[in-house]
Amino acid sequence: MKSFLQNWEKMRSSPVAILGAGKSGLGAASLLNRLQWENETYDEQGRVFTEDLARKCSFVVFSPGFKLIHPWIQMARNLGKEVIAEMDLGAAFCKDKIVAITGTNGKTTLTTLLSHIWNINGRLSQVAGNIGNPLTSVVANSSEEETTIFLETSSFQAQGLKILRPDVVIWNNFEPDHLDHHISMTEYFYAKANIITQMNPDGKLWIGESVVNFASQINYQFPYAYSRIDGSSFCSNTVPPDHFLSSFPQKENLAFAKTISKASGIDESVFFDSIKSYEPEPFRLSKIAKVGKASFWNDSKATNSSAVISAFKNFSNKILWIGGGREKGERVDLWINEVKKYVAQAFLIGEVAPKIHSMLRSESVDSEVCESLGDAIKSAYSRTVDTIDIVFSPGFLSYDMFEDYLDRGNSFNKLVFDLKKRSTQTTQ
């Protein structure tokens, strides 16, 4: 599909239309500007993309927030315009090796972990994609040095790809998520699977157990030979028990990282040294403070059911759970009964709180609807009698109360630290 770009010099007389004014749109604009290619950005909250404008553009680049059925995309295609994803634009001008990483949970960790291992080993690497650094931005600022790009790829990004040819594809796991965007689990699976159909036929494919299992359920046939990694059976005694990567589901990522590093010729001693120095992205199940008998854990990054249940599995005793937010299409009733195995009491926030409260009560789990995150923290702490873990693992989107999961995570930390400060003052 690079063919339409082979004549790009002839196309330069007309501007490129960019749909989306966020990071991906800005990345696309920066690459096109470096190529000295005129471009115009359109956004639903800003400049509207009309049929007249579509007729005048050379081709269209869309950000991952735009569904393939979006009227602007359909309009451009009906006019005979080539429509490509932002990631494809970056791929069209990328000269570096690309390792595409997808999955439901933990793909950001695996992306940054592999890049860290490569850099410690003296191999130049960069992270890009869904991690918040568009591929187009990386390509726009690329150097002549040989680099491996670890490309975190969401289902939104994977489903529309036509140009990208990853040299390696890693698909670590598959669980329910983003069903507000995808109509079913099967459609969600195929959206992610498009990254496999796009890969270099001579490349390497690594997949996890849950991916293989779901593929079997829907009779999906992988187009290329693959290496299967069972993360659940991997022994993580090579890292300290309190290390981030010793927790579930990060053991799975550790298994992938170790296996792929070995296959790439990285010495085992270098691998283990890099693990020791690795710092995870923020707000992935980390203990942030102990206040009295309560240990507070921040897992703000958890935005789906599998991430929440994975967090719960790290605790041997029942916990106090703070959760809730905005729904994104997942069937809450299919997993909420699992909560009773791990949760003594729940403190719920956000739009979904009343719904979860009702479901938990029907499962005989004590729960409380709270007006704010601060109220949830106070209520949970007030119930502390014996030593217990208070776990903030929302399971839902943050946008009903916060800018994003980072804002949500930072707010939680501040509120807990304020509580600790007040508690210390009252005991002096």
Check residue 13 and report its DSSP letter: T
Q: What is the pLDDT of residue 428?
A: 47
Q: How many CB atoms lie within 10 A of CB 50?
A: 12
Q: Is 143 exposed, middle or buried (0-12, 13-18, 19+ CB in 10 A)?
A: exposed
Each residue of 15-73: pLDDT tens digit?
Answer: 999 999 999 999 999 999 999 999 999 998 889 999 999 999 999 999 988 888 899 99
Question: Considering Cα of 263, then 153, then 22, then 88, what sign does the dihedral take?
Answer: positive
Check residue 267 and report its DSSP letter: -
Say if residues 368 and 348 touch (Cβ distance below 8 Å): yes
Q: List the structure tokens of 347.
A: 């403190």
Each residue of 316-364: pLDDT tens digit?
Answer: 899 999 999 999 877 788 788 889 899 999 999 999 999 999 999 998 9
Q: Enumerate domains of the chain plus CATH numbers.
A: 12-81 (3.40.50.720), 91-277 (3.40.1190.10), 286-427 (3.90.190.20)
Residue 9 pLDDT greater than 80, yes or no = no
Q: What is the spatial order of strands in the sheet that 388-392 belongs to?
A: 286-291, 294-298, 388-392, 319-324, 343-349, 366-369
Strands 60-62 and 16-19: parallel
Average pLDDT score, the chain: 88
pLDDT category of residue 166 using cuts at 50, 70 and 90: very high
- In sequence order, what DSSP letters do the residues of 185-233 get, joined into one string? HHHHHHHHHHHHHTS-TTSEEEEEHHHHHHHHHTT---SS--EEE-GGG
Say if residues 168 and 206 touch (Cβ distance below 8 Å): yes
Most confident residue range from 227-231, 250-254, 411-415: 411-415
Residue 283 pLDDT greater than 90, yes or no = no
Residues 6+ apart with CB under 8 A from 192: 102, 153, 155, 158, 159, 171, 174
* Cα→Cα distances 282→97, 108, 125, 394, 413, Å: 27, 11, 21, 15, 11
Angle at 32 between CA 69 and CA 40, to 5 degrees: 55
> In which region does residue 386 sit, left (phi positive, over 0), alpha (psi from -120 to 50) or beta (all else)?
beta
Say if residues 360 and 392 touch (Cβ distance below 8 Å): no
Cα separation of 76 and 376, whole Å?
A: 48
Q: List the structure tokens of 105.
A: 């949970």
Q: Which residue has the higher pLDDT, 281 or 162?
A: 162
Q: What is the pLDDT of residue 65?
A: 84
